[in-house]
Amino acid sequence: MKTAFDTRPGSVVDIEGDLYFVTKWESHRGGRGATTVKMRLKNIANGSMTDKVFSSDDKLNDVILDRTVFEYLYNSSGVYVFMNSENYEQIELGEDDVGDMKYFLSEGATIDIQQHNGNFVGIILATYMKLRVVETLPLVGSNENIEVITNTGLKLEVPPSIQEGDEIIVNTSTFEFVEKAK
């Protein structure tokens, strides 16, 4: 068992017999020292999203997941194909399963896929991923940063010293530029 306060995004919890993937977690300190935790949860069985508020010391049943390393191969008409690095088995995931993680999937990228009883639960990315800039958009006004588009289609702001062809490091949680890759 884990307290609501100890649960983090990427965790899977069992609430009243249903499994939920924690997609967002926020702590709020209320009056008289009471702390609440607000979570955005994805029901693994049907994909529905819900928000729930817990007291920080509420106990939740933590679910142990199988975590396997996969290599991203390609996307064909909204179907993302991955290969298990150990046994070369391939799995296909839809756009709903991949979500905004698609912006960090470039050919050959290594990711972890979580499964429970053989069913897909979620994708775990490294905290920082390297992407290549394929287009820089013109500087508008006196803004310090310019907007670029990466090889995966992600649009973000970077310093004006970044040019097409440069590789950059991006935070996968915030979708923000971290630094130019060395």
pLDDT at position 35 over 80:
yes
Average pLDDT over residues 103-119: 89
Tell me the CB-side half-sphere exposure of residue 91, using CA atoms within 13 A. Answer: 21
Rounded Cα distance between 22 and 18, Å, is 13
Nearest in space to 70 (alpha carbons), one of 114, 104, 101: 114
CATH architecture of 128-180: Beta Barrel (2.40)
pTM confidence score: 0.71
- CATH hierarchy code of domain 2-62: 2.30.30.30
How many other C-beta atoms lie within 10 A of the C-beta of residue 133?
20
Structural domain spans, the chain: 2-62, 66-124, 128-180
DSSP calls for the chain: -EEGGG--TT-EEEETTEEEEEEEEEEEE-GGG-EEEEEEEEETTT--EEEEEEETT-EEEE---EEEEEEEEEEETTEEEEEETTT--EEEEEHHHHGGGGGG--TT-EEEEEEETTEEEEEE--SEEEEEEEEEPPP-TT-SSEEEEETTS-EEEE-TT--TT-EEEEETTT--EEEE--
Q: How confident is the model at residue 114 (pLDDT cuts 50, 70, 90)?
A: confident
Residue 178 burial (10 A CB sphere; 0-12, 13-18, 19+)? middle
Of the CATH numbers 2.40.370.10, 2.30.110.10, 3.30.300.30, 2.40.50.140, which one belongs to the domain with range 66-124?
Answer: 2.40.50.140
Q: What pLDDT score was predicted for residue 94?
A: 92
Mean residue pLDDT across the chain: 89
Predicted confidence band of residue 142 (pLDDT cuts 50, 70, 90) = low
2-62 and 128-180: same fold? no
Confidence class for position 138, pLDDT limits 50, 70, 90: confident
60-84: per-residue pLDDT in tens? 988 888 899 999 999 999 999 999 9
Residue 42 has pLDDT above 90, yes or no: no
